[in-house]
Chain A
Amino acid sequence: MASSVPAFDAVTCRGVGKVWAPGTPRAHEALRDIDLAVAPGEFVVLLGPSGCGKSTLLYLIAGLQDATMGELWSFGGQVAGPSPDRSLIFQETSLFPWLSVGQNVAFGLSIRGDMPDARRAAAREALARVGLAEAIDKRPDELSGGMRQRVAVARALAMRPKVLLMDEPFAALDVQTRSKMQDFLLDVWRASAASVLFVTHHIDEAVALADRVVVFTSRPGRIKAVVPIDMPRPRDPFSPAAEALRRQLTGLLQDEVDRAFAEQEALPA
């Protein structure tokens, strides 16, 4: 591409597309023509119906999958594979059950070759940032779902990533815990200065968290609209502004959900 290298964006997508199993009868297009730039320290929520490819975009940015079309950049370098600069947090707990909480948080550091003392100190610090310093010697199965997700965030933070990629991280939690976790995430985000790309299909979550909401169409996933939110945080979910935003996002999503639903209904049984 002739255009200049995007040196200052945390993440840049240019004409990104992804086809699964290309050239086979099972081939299907997950993403098409994604153009997106995320500024350093920005909190961007990717919102769309289930199966619209928003998670796929996260995997492409993480470098775990290769894009079929287009190019991906991060801080002036082209994405060629996974990097500790871009940490991915999953919906299901992905803590290693055979390691203690502290060893889980320090996993990336030990891969990097840090000394045990330095690892433990860094793990303690990262756990303190998510309010779980006292759990350092516990086993993951001794923690609740919300605590495990906080440990997963601590594990990502320990690598001091510049971009946090979160794939519906709170979807498996109950409503009360989820709202607590959203507040907690905003605190962590402010303290870390990292950019966050957060995938969800919950409109409330998008309204509570985002600087910008990117709304996806159903498959193949394309960007349907970008909605900036400049309400100050903490946000009152019952304020007229939040209400208006929810109405706007619901309207944008409704067509897509209807279309996806009709497509599923039309599938041969």
Chain B
Amino acid sequence: MSVALNAPAMALRRPSLPPWVGKLGWAVVSIGMFCAIWEALWAAGLADPRLLPPPHVFLGNIAGQAKFFNTVSRWQVGAGMDSGPPPALAVVYTAGATIGRVLSGLVIASVLSVSLGVAIRYFLLFERLTLPTITLLAPVSPIAWLPVAIFMFGIGNRPAVFMVVVALLFHMTLSTIAQIDGVNRNFIHVARTMGASKRQIYARVIVPAILPGMLLVLRMNLFAAWMAVLIAESTGVGYGLGQVIMLARNTFNPSLVFFTIALIGVLGFAFDFALRLLQNRLLYWVPKGSEALRGL
């Protein structure tokens, strides 16, 4: 343990190393600690390896687990365990299918909700006609939409994407409205005294002003998108990581459950990291980090 703790501490002290080295070190320590507690519970006999297999068990047989990801032709009657692509490729296909649904859902939901939010604040009549309905639908859990997704789209990609969109759309629309209402009044006053029209104020002041907040909203909703897509996939809407979890449940294979959870965790982490990079690139004017809280 002491070695693991020293590594990030040294990275912090030495200015020649880039800052992400220290962050990565602490990530390793954080996850390592979690795994160590789990392994200790297993070693002490408190965690039954048949129900809660520790990391070295469910990560120990990756090739064996990967075979179950061969879902490409699973629903075709008579397709055998060993037909289809090799196991490693099957994992990539399955994860790729899920990632594709998350991304399409995120893009569609973001564009729709920002447009809706701006339109609601721009046109009073539109607000009166739509805002009550949107507010009414916002608290509905995505699970409740699952039958609707199947009624409307059957199985395949489209119901899963629909689930992601419906899980995000209403919240993100309400967030957009809140962001618009929070725009610094002085920005709008300045634009007005410069002779800007309503359309110009929205296009050149309000939309750029809400972008930082919207990217944060998008990051928060990224996790909601992952949850929605897993629900959709696990109930037979299509193949993907969610279906592997359901398969593991039905065949009583806890190792496969935890392996897939680990995979989802890594993917979600990578997505969040990518969005943060995008945020720093796109929104260079936003102050970074939580420096103000460090000295407390």
Residues of A whose CB lies within 8 Å of any CB of B are 62-64, 82-84, 86-88, 90, 92, 94, 96-98, 107-108, 111-112, 139-141, 155, 159
Contact = CB atoms under 8 A, between A and B. Distances in A.
B195 A83 contact: yes
Contacts of B284: 139
Interface string B237-267: 0000000000000000000000000000000
Given A62-B193, A84-B195, 14 more contacts: A63-B193, A64-B192, A86-B193, A88-B189, A90-B190, A96-B187, A96-B209, A98-B208, A107-B194, A111-B195, A111-B204, A139-B285, A141-B287, A159-B194
A83 B194 CA distance: 7
Given A111-B200, A141-B285, A94 B186 contact: yes
B191 interface: yes
A64 B194 CA distance: 11
A contacts with B: majority SS: loop
Contacts of A159: 194
B196 interface: yes
29 contacts: A62-B189, A63-B193, A64-B193, A82-B195, A83-B193, A83-B195, A84-B193, A84-B194, A84-B195, A86-B193, A90-B190, A92-B186, A94-B189, A94-B190, A96-B187, A96-B205, A96-B209, A98-B209, A98-B283, A107-B190, A107-B191, A107-B194, A107-B204, A111-B191, A111-B195, A111-B196, A111-B204, A112-B195, A159-B194
Contacts of B283: 98
Interface residues of B, number: 22
| Max chain A Cβ within 10 angstroms of own Cβ: one of B189, B190, B204, B286 | B190
Contacts of B211: 98
Interface in B4-24: none
A88 B186 CA distance: 10
A135 to B, nearest CB: 15
Contacts of B209: 96, 98
A63 B195 CA distance: 11
B184 interface: yes
B92 to A, nearest CB: 39
A87 B193 contact: yes
Given A86-B193, A111-B191, A98 B285 contact: yes
A259 to B, nearest CB: 29
A87 B287 CA distance: 29
Nearest to A99: B208
B190 A111 contact: no
A107 B189 CA distance: 13
B153 to A, nearest CB: 39
Contacts of A97: 285-286
Contact of A64 (B189, B195, B286): B189
Interface in B166-215: 184, 186-187, 189-196, 200, 204-205, 208-209, 211
A124 to B, nearest CB: 18
A60 B157 CA distance: 57
Contacts of B195: 82-84, 108, 111-112
Contacts of B205: 96
Contacts of A98: 208-209, 211, 283, 285
A20 to B, nearest CB: 15
| Max chain A Cβ within 10 angstroms of own Cβ: one of B184, B192, B194, B205 | B194
A183 to B, nearest CB: 25
Nearest to A59: B189
Instruction: List the 8 closest pairs (A to B, CB-CB), nearest first.
Output: A108-B194, A94-B186, A97-B285, A82-B192, A82-B193, A98-B208, A111-B196, A90-B186
Contacts of A86: 193
A140 B283 CA distance: 14
A187 to B, nearest CB: 23
B225 to A, nearest CB: 27
Contacts of B193: 62-64, 82-84, 86-88
B139 to A, nearest CB: 31
| Max chain A Cβ within 10 angstroms of own Cβ: one of B189, B191, B208, B284 | B189
